[in-house]
Amino acid sequence: MDLALDEAGARPARTAPTRRGPRSSTVGALTPRERQIAGLVATGATNKEIADTLVISKRTAETHVEHILPKLGSTNRGQISAWVTERAAAEPPASASG
């Protein structure tokens, strides 16, 4: 097997994965709480504001955001916001009943 090795020759060389922005098909990968937090991130809420809104610790809010980022293939909060906006635009409007 012909594998490229890193400079030390000890491990196969790895290339950084390419990021192309949020993945639109990952809604099932997020928990309901993560979707809720992603929605708050999209409003521009800080981790502290998310924590206050949901009555959780700031660290718990941070952890949720840290879990959301890789699930969406995102590297920053702006990409989470873009994902939320994209999903909202793709959803059919709620029909009025009555």
Residues in the chain: 98
Q: Please report the pLDDT score of residue 93 as a whole number.
A: 72
Query: Which domains, ranges and CATH numbers included, belong to the chain?
Result: 27-88 (1.10.10.10)
pLDDT tens, position by position, 19-68: 444 444 556 799 999 999 999 999 999 999 999 999 999 999 999 999 99
Residue 69 has pLDDT above 70, yes or no: yes
